[in-house]
């Protein structure tokens, strides 16, 4: 082992939580919870990350209520699953890794056939995700629906703290429910929840307040945002700076600066090869396969990858807020990690790099300049829909243990 260690391996506090290093596994929907119940495969997935040395792993997409699930195989933070979720969290923690839960809600974008009625978002219209499966439309939330949603986040936060999560990550980005309210592209409401940035922030800030009230002042709350949606009329960097200032003022502990949306422009968050071949490989719905073949090249164009491709935009947010900052986007090497920390970020979230190299932190301890073997082919994205759950097709041997 070399005598000079990488600064990414130094400890740092997030609110009252001490993390042993600066490397956090990003939330990725694992698709390892059949019928919403976490099983051994999900524990094994995160256990591999824990044994590899990450300070904290994020359990992806923990729906705050059944109506917030994209499909019926997503985790739901509900008493029916208390024992299973508690065992999952404790099993990971026993390996010396902290656990964050990514609080999500799909809003108007769902193919969850267990819903009572249509999915709901800031406005009504087509349900683009469920259209191919006969769930054609979504409804606009009434004020009573908004009250229920705020309450659902608060109740889910209480539940998640009670089963042992070390931190909570509220998903404000990527086109999901709260992002649908933040974006002028998907929010054309005429009431106090639409229009100006201040109005579009109203629901996300109420959700943050409800979560904070539920978990207390010393419990870490993280927010994930999209710095840009990459669409005319959508969230721009200038908007995201205002959003982050408001979250910071409202008491959030850390902000993750991502980009793009899952619904409109996912390649902004990935970069590299198109995700289309992988989506086609695992898509079972014939109608959706036809749509992908006809429109996929335009929807999912390859975008040039370069190291730290979101850093310049993220640095502008770093200057605008006082809370901790978590960088994500093309951080692939020890040199990248050092640079990101040197310019003022506190932690680094890793997605694809840890799918390809679950033991990257351990390798970094042995070789401070280590570079992940991920080649940004993005074929891991489609594996979310595979029987094996999300994995790196190049380096996964088909067994989780």
* Through-space distance between the first and last CA atoms of the chain, rounded to whole angstroms: 27
What pLDDT score does 400 carry? 62
In a domain, 211, yes or no: yes
Q: Is residue 135 part of a domain?
A: no
What gap in Å lies between CA 262 and CA 242, rounded to an integer? 22
- Is residue 280 assigned to a domain? no
> What is the pLDDT at residue 28?
92
Which CATH number fits the domain that encloses residue 198? 3.20.20.70
What is the domain extent for residue 186? 7-109+142-266+305-385
Both structure tokens of 210? 């409800």
Q: How many CB atoms lie within 10 A of CB 271?
A: 19
**Domains held by the chain: number:** 1
Residue 120 domain flag: no
Q: How far is CA 349 from CA 8, 15, 169, 340, in A?
A: 11, 17, 12, 11
Q: How many CB atoms lie within 10 A of CB 188?
A: 12
Q: Give the model's pLDDT for residue 3.
A: 40
Which among 170, 321, 169 has a CA at the least distance from the CA of 245? 321
Q: What is the pLDDT of residue 399?
A: 64
| Residue 388, SS3 per DSSP | coil
* Residue 223, phi then psi, degrees to nearest 5: -125, 135
Answer whether 351's CB lies under 8 Å from 344's CB. Answer: no
Assess whether 176 carries a catalytic annotation: yes
Residues in the chain: 401
* 194, part of any domain: yes
Identify whether 102 is part of a domain: yes
Catalytic residue among 61, 81, 153, 176: 176
pLDDT of residue 45: 97
Is 368 among the domain residues? yes
pTM of the predicted protein model: 0.96
pLDDT along the chain (401 residues), means of 10: 74 98 96 92 97 98 95 94 98 98 95 90 90 88 98 98 98 97 96 97 98 98 96 94 98 97 88 94 88 89 96 98 98 97 98 96 95 95 92 82 61
Question: 71: helix, coil or strand?
Answer: coil
Distance in angstroms (rounded) separating the CA atoms of residues 59 and 61: 7
Q: Is 185 a member of any domain?
A: yes
Which are the contacts of 165, defined by CB distance < 8 A and separation ≥ 6? 89, 99, 100, 101
């Amino acid at each position: 082992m070399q005598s000079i260690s990488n600064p990414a391996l130094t400890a740092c506090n997030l609110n009252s939580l001490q993390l042993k290093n600066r490397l956090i596994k990003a939330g990725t929907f694992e698709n390892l919870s059949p019928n919403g119940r976490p099983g051994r495969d999900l524990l094994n997935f995160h256990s591999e990350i824990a044994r590899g040395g990450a300070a904290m792993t994020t359990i992806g997409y923990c729906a705050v209520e059944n109506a917030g699930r994209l499909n019926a195989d997503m985790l739901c933070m509900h008493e029916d699953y208390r024992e299973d979720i508690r065992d999952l969290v404790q099993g990971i923690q026993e390996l010396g890794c902290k656990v964050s839960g990514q609080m999500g809600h799909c809003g108007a974008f769902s193919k969850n056939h267990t819903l009572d009625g249509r999915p709901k978002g800031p406005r009504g219209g087509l349900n683009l995700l469920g259209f191919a499966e006969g769930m054609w439309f979504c409804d606009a939330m009434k004020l009573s629906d908004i009250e229920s949603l705020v309450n659902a986040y608060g109740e889910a936060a209480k539940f998640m703290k009670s089963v042992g999560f070390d931190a909570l990550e509220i998903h404000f980005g990527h086109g999901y429910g709260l992002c649908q309210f933040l974006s002028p592209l998907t929010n054309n409401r005429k009431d106090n929840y639409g229009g100006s940035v201040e109005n579009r922030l109203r629901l996300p800030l109420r959700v943050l307040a409800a979560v904070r009230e539920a978990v207390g002042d010393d419990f870490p709350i993280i927010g994930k945002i999209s710095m840009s949606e990459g669409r005319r009329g959508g969230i721009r960097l200038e908007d995201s700076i205002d959003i982050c200032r408001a979250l910071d003022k409202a008491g959030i502990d850390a902000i993750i600066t991502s980009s793009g949306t899952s619904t409109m422009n996912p390649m902004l968050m990935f970069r590299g090869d198109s995700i289309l071949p992988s989506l086609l490989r695992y898509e079972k719905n014939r109608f959706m396969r036809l749509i992908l073949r006809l429109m996929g090249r335009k929807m999912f164009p390859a975008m040039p990858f370069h190291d730290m491709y979101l850093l310049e935009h993220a640095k502008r947010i770093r200057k605008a807020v006082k809370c901790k900052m978590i960088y994500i986007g093309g951080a692939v090497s020890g040199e990248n990690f050092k640079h990101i920390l040197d310019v003022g970020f506190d932690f680094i979230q890793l997605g694809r790099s840890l799918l390809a190299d679950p033991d990257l932190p351990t390798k970094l301890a042995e070789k401070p300049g280590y570079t992940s073997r991920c080649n940004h082919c993005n074929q891991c994205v489609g594996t979310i829909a595979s029987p094996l759950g999300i994995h790196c097709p190049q380096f996964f041997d088909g067994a989780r243990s």
